[in-house]
Structure 1
Amino acid sequence: MSARRYLVAAATSGLGFAVAENLVHAGHDVAICGRDELRLADALQRLSGHPGTVHGTKCDLTHGDGPQTWVAGSVDKLGGTLDGVFVNTGGPGPAPFAKTTDEDWLSGFQQIVMPAVRLVRAAHPHLAAGSAVVFSTSSVVREPSLTPELVVSAALRSAVATLAKSLSREWAPEIRVNHLIPGRIATERVRSLDAKRAAATGVAVEEVVQQSQAKIPLGRYGDAKEYAAAASWLLSPGASYVTGATLTADGGLVAGV
């Protein structure tokens, strides 16, 4: 299998890093970005030694020209058109609706929606025929009541899910566009959310984790590598007849059909 060229956004840790690692391990050439220079350098070090090559750029995707600059520079480094983009953004902190402000909603929009819009808009002219885009969101898109304190994230990530579905029609048949939902994956963000819930409810973090795992049919949090395997498949030619789809990698957490 020949090497393909991919962009993986926000890939210095968590799900983004796992997707980048899966791709370079398979021999593909990947460009990643991150806001923190030290975390970016550490990610590049950990991604070295695989069959594929990896390039990194310090970039804040929430800044207006950040996505365009990263895409243009990455296309030059990768040396050709793109075969896929993994669209990944950070999320706002937890808060019940009654405690959210206009600033929380506007900030969340700039953190979740606009980076996704700007990134795929910048990448589109460079995407080869047969390429793929995968948007990563959250299980709260399908079942918001799972984590009611993530109301801002649920509403705005739903906008990203709608964007994915819209582009799957607009960009067909040349480009496939899909939507991948992570459940409770053992990442730094999930650990932070568990810690905040524990502090708010006055229970141990271990108890919060046990309560969450009890709701998951597979009985555990997912590993980031398991999520990355699903993302890499959607980006690959192996999923050549899959577009406009929503795939959940959640251990059965989401109850809806």
Structure 2
Amino acid sequence: MSIIGPHVDLQIDGNAALVVASSSGLGKASAKALAREGANVVINGRNEDRLEEARKEVEEVATNEVVAQQGDLTDTDDITELVNTTVEEFGTIDHLVTSAGGPPSGEFLETTDEDWEHAYELLVMSVVRLAREAAPHLKEGDGGTIVTITSRTVKEAKENLVLSNSVRMGVVGLEKTLSKEFAPEVRSNTLLPGSHETSRIENLIESAIERGDYENYEEGLEDWAGNPLGRIGDPMELGDTVAFLSSPKSGYINGAALPIEGGSTESNL
């Protein structure tokens, strides 16, 4: 399912986008949506083989260039190289999309200082460093954008996810601050995804089938849905939202935190 088809001109053709943690999942969907709309895209991941597979997949829908840059988001040198590669390849950075894999599940008393420090480095400091490095390039024009992908857990804490519930809040506070400090040249927004049918969810369902928790994959999908729409999200639905927020079509949206979760959270705002 796609909320924005290729027949809609989002006016980002030829723009340069850096999409991190994009060798799989929601990051890859974001890269595909931007590439399909004509942006030149740099994708990123830690695993070289998986990153190359993602590059080929993104290229299938791209109308301009796709570059793959291996790197670890907890490594400051790798982050600098990601930004430098994008600028060397495309001359600037118009759009920055940040994402990262979720930290380990667990209750508060099960977590160590090292767990907290790693989660903070991965989820918060990666965004801090990327935004700092990319800022001069994003500000060069009048249409720069930052989209941070976090989680619905920042609005509604979930059981057994203390690290995600707590640490991701820092990204939302940063995004809101950047929406003020970087404006008007750069708009900053964040997305709060719920369950989407990514490879991670597929693997979890398949493992649950092997344990006997579900009879088949469809039953597992229904269990993961848990929202008023009665279905799990398609990653491209989130990717299309990233492309929209990166485009002039969303030009008056700034500092927003948008849930993409089928209405599953109970909070009013």
State the Cα RMSD in Å: 2.0
Determine if contact 2:26/2:238 at 8 Å carries over to the other structure: yes
Report the equivalent of 2:72.
60
* TM norm structure 1: 0.91
1:187 and 2:198 correspond: yes
CA deviations 1:47-105 (Å, max 9, x no partner) are: 22421211111111111221111101111111x22211101112212112221111111
Give the Cα separation in 2 of the matches to 1:154 and 1:194. Answer: 23
Give the Cα separation in 2 of the matches to 1:153 and 1:194. Answer: 21
Amino acid across the alignment from 1:11: S
CA apart distance, 1:219: 0.5
Amino acid across the alignment from 1:130: G
> % of aligned pairs identical?
38
1:204 and 2:217 correspond: no
Q: Provide structure 2 residue ranges, at least 5 long, that are not aligned to the other structure.
A: 1-10
Report the equivalent of 1:105.
116
CA apart distance, 1:191: 3.8
Give the Cα separation in 2 of the matches to 1:91 and 1:72. Answer: 26
* TM norm structure 2: 0.87
Give the Cα separation in 1 of the matches to 2:37 and 2:155. Answer: 31
Equivalent residue runs for 1:25-174 within 5 Å? 25-49=36-60, 50-78=62-90, 80-127=91-138, 128-144=141-157, 147-174=158-185
CA deviations 1:124-160 (Å, max 9, x no partner) are: 011132211001000111111xx31111011111110
Give the Cα separation in 2 of the matches to 1:83 and 1:70. Answer: 14
**Greater RCO (CA < 8 Å, at least 6 residues apart):** 2
Determine if contact 1:23/1:30 at 8 Å carries over to the other structure: yes
Larger mean Cα displacement after TM superposition, 156-165 or 105-114: 105-114
Aligned residue pair count: 251
